[in-house]
Structure 1
Amino acid sequence: MYPLRLTALAKPLVFGGQAIARHLGKAGLPEWSIAETWECSDVTGAVATVREGPLAGRSLREMVADRPEELMGPGWSGTYFPVLTKFIDASGVLPVHLHADDEAARRLEGQPNGKTEAWHILDAAPGATALCGVREEVTAGQLRAALEAQEFDRVLRRLPVRAGETVYVPGGTLHSFGPATLVYEIEQTSDIQQHAMRWNMEDGSPVGDEEFAANLDMLMRQVDLASRPEFTPGLRIAAGDGVERVFLTASRYFALERWTAGTAEPLRHAFTTAQILTNVGAPVRVRSGAWSGELGRAETLLLPAVLGEVEITGPADVLLGYLPDLDRDVHAPLLAAGRGLEDIAAPLAEPESGGTPRTDGGGAP
């Protein structure tokens, strides 16, 4: 096993632009507007494949099936990779929508899991905002009436958006962001969603009255009126001379960290579960196991768990996403760095009950 370069799906949705190529510097994108690139995906119909090396041509789902513990860590089993990551260019405004939580996904969508997600803001214009959650004391009837009238600010919370902050968005939360906002998104592996718009995000075509009413019916069965997430700056700890580690968000579904390093010493990190390494800075040199190579701007490597460690030569600015054991991977390093339990609970709270999932509990989404 070695660090895996995966194919990335580019999606030309109507709210997209060219910031992923022009601002982040991602190479190889088409000339037209791109809304999303799926950096690490095992969603059915959008499964990534390995681009280089002896495993070239193998799909991520095949890797999960054939070498689950080497890829994900000891004791793990499942039929698909559990974490999805994306760049999202909201040059325009995303549709107001939600994703089902686990229970609603199984009961209403026939899917094995829902889609809780988190947005890490890479860049945002001054005054940028996001809609995220229903205002307090808004009833289901009031929400339905406002959605029918497309009067979103009447019932939804509008929050300021700033680069460097992160918000954890549980399934069932109504949301939207944009314009002029560039996001790195990490989420459960799923593509289920319910929209509240009179237009389709694929091409801007109108949604008919009958379809619109059916969409709202399903959305209202899935919405969580009590979910009101907040943006946070994350928790910072020193990880070496000029090396900083920021825990951006963490739950039983995924964790996301941002690491920066200067030139005094390399960024070094040991791990026991697969790491999705995404570069959001200048090109860097990466070594993991016996492999070494360059990771360019806005490129991603999937580091299998069996490799156990990674070293990145600075200057570096990278993201690491993974399926965590919360005690081992999040709480322990924060406590060792002098962070108290009260610090950990605030920005990294686990909204849903239960421990770290070790199986997917069903067929692939």
Structure 2
Amino acid sequence: MIDQPVLLPPNQPRHFYRGGANIGRFRGSPPPDEYRPEDWVASATSRFGGDAGLTVLPGGRTLRAAIAADPDGWLGPAHVRTWGESPGLLVKLLDTGQRLPVHVHPSRAFARDHLGSVFGKTEAWLVMDVPDGDEGKVHIGFREDVGRDRLREWVRDQDGAAMLAGMNPVTVRPGDAVLVPAGTPHAVGAGVFLIEVQEPTDFSVMLEWAGFSDGADADLRLGWDTVLDCVDGRASSAEDIARLIRRPGEAGETRPGVRRVWAEGADPFFRAELAGDGAELDAAFAVLIVLRGAGELRGAGKAMPLRAGQTAVVPYGAGRATLHGDIDVLRCLPPAP
């Protein structure tokens, strides 16, 4: 049984949009080119229609294969009974060298009915940095109801300007935590560096692709008459958007040294906590991103040194552990079984 955490190198598959420089600075390992905007951390999920994105562990085996060989050791028996051999989440570092196109992700119900998956793609962001350290821009949901005919027209004409104009612009700053429910149209502005935690799929409906890509698989190979059913065209008010966002300091400690990150609506899909010195961590499959400082993770009679920019995967079999040092760690967890 696997019983120790594993430090992970960068895992940045080539993508259609530019970015990755901030990931390189954070990780201390520059990307090979400017089209590496995402680092898929501890990923047992592959890109839609391919194999890219899978994490390769020391020794050459993929994390997916390692979990399949010992699911209880990696994920824990209760998790396996509920979610099978999937870790139940995907974690990314994401750095937008250019604005992301307007897109949307399907819900679990849509994914079950049309994509053969128990997981959709609700996601959430923890903002790490923004242009010039000041503020960044994202767009979330429509400002007024958008009917299917108008949406289909925007997609047909590839009218990205109209899509953005119809959405809610939101200012984000470092430390902001944003929940993006499945079905919600969204886009991320250029220069925003964030951690994204999501359900473990690569299902993206690209409402906008002109100027970004050739539009291949923009409709997830389902056809637009079907795939537009996954888009929530209802208006989102300022109050609706505010409920999706937590600003730094708004969440108190859940236990000594630990604070929750996103609004409670994230919990059925994934969990995350900010952990610091003295935090006691239960046995669980977890993905760690060291945000700041240095310290160590102590458990099972051993200590793993940690420093800012590192990422690690912790198997259930590693048991309980504690954090020590002047350190801040984002601990990402699957939904509770």
The SS at the match of 2:23 is: helix
Shift of 1:154: 3.1
1:294 aligns with 2:296: no
Q: Provide the C-alpha distance between the structure 1 equivalents of 2:149 and 2:221, rounded to a whole number of angstroms.
A: 14
- Closer, same or farther in 2 for the Cα pair 1:112/1:214, shift >3 Å? closer
Q: Gaps spanning 5+ residues in structure 2: where?
A: none
Maintained 8 Å contact 1:199/1:205:
yes
Q: Does 1:237 align with 2:238?
A: no
Deviation at 1:275, TM superposition (A): 1.6
Query: Could you tell me how far 1:41 is from its partner in structure 2?
Result: 0.6
Q: 1:287 to 1:28 in 2, by over 3 A?
A: farther
Q: Aligned to 1:129, which of 137, 141, 146?
A: 137
Question: Aligned residue for 1:281?
Answer: 292
Residues 105 and 67 (structure 1), Cα distance of their counterparts in 2 relative to 1, 3 Å cut:
same
Provide the C-alpha distance between the structure 2 equivalents of 1:113 and 1:239, rounded to a whole number of angstroms: 30
Corresponding residue of 2:331: 320
Tell me the residue number matched to 2:110: 104
Shift in Å at residue 311 of structure 1? 2.4
1:60 maps to 63
Identical columns (%): 24
Q: 1:182 to 1:294 in 2, by over 3 A?
A: same
State the partner residue of 2:279.
268
Residues 15, 277 of structure 1: alpha-carbon distance in 2 compared, 3 angstrom cutoff: same
Match of 1:353 in 2: none
Quote the offset at 1:302 in angstroms.
1.3
Matched, 1:257 2:273: yes
Cα 1:320/1:164, change in 2 over 3 Å: same
Corresponding letter in the other structure for 1:35: P
Do the aligned residues in 2 keep the contact of 1:195 with 1:215 (CA within 8 Å)? no
Query: Which moved further from structure 2: 168-177 or 144-153?
Result: 144-153
Secondary structure of the equivalent of 2:6? coil
Report if aligned partners of 2:292, 2:328 keep a CA contact under 8 Å in 1.
yes
Instruction: Name the counterpart of 1:348.
Output: none
The amino acid of 1:257's aligned partner reads E
Contact 1:196/1:216 (8 A) holds in 2: no
CA 1:136 to 1:95, structure 2 compared with 1: closer, same or farther past 3 Å?
Answer: same
- Partner Cα separation in structure 2 for residue 15 and residue 82 of structure 1: 28
CA contact (8 A) 1:115 1:190 kept: yes
**CA RMSD after TM alignment:** 2.8
With the length of structure 1 as denominator, give the TM-score of the two structures.
0.76
Distance 1:7 1:216, change over 3 A: farther
- For the 8 Å contact 2:145–2:235, the answer to whether it is kept is no
Give the ranges of 4+ consecutive aligned residues of structure 1 lying more than 6 Å apart after TM superposition: 210-215
For residues 17-32 of structure 1, the aligned pairs below 5 Å read 17-22=20-25, 24-27=26-29, 29-30=31-32, 32=34
Q: Which position in structure 2 is the counterpart of 1:223?
A: 231
Q: Is the 8 A contact 2:39 2:94 kept in 1?
A: yes
Counterpart residue type for residue 49 of structure 1: V
Q: Distance in 2 between matches of 1:43 and 1:15?
A: 21
Whether the aligned pair in 1 keeps the contact of 2:20 and 2:31 (CA below 8 Å) is no
Q: Residues 324 and 197 of structure 1: is their aligned pair in 2 closer, same or farther, counting only changes over 3 Å?
A: closer
Which 10-residue stretch deviates more, 38-47 or 219-228? 219-228
What displacement does 1:205 show? 4.4
Distance in 1 (alpha carbons) for counterparts of 2:292 and 2:140: 28
Q: Please, what TM-score do these two structures have when normalized by structure 2?
A: 0.81
Q: How many angstroms does 1:93 deviate by?
A: 0.5
Residue equivalent to 1:4: 6
Residue correspondences, number: 310
**Structure 1: stretches of 5+ with no match in the other structure:** 261-265, 326-357, 359-365
Candidates 70, 74, 79, aligned match of 1:71: 74
CA distance 1:301–1:225, shift in 2 (3 Å): same
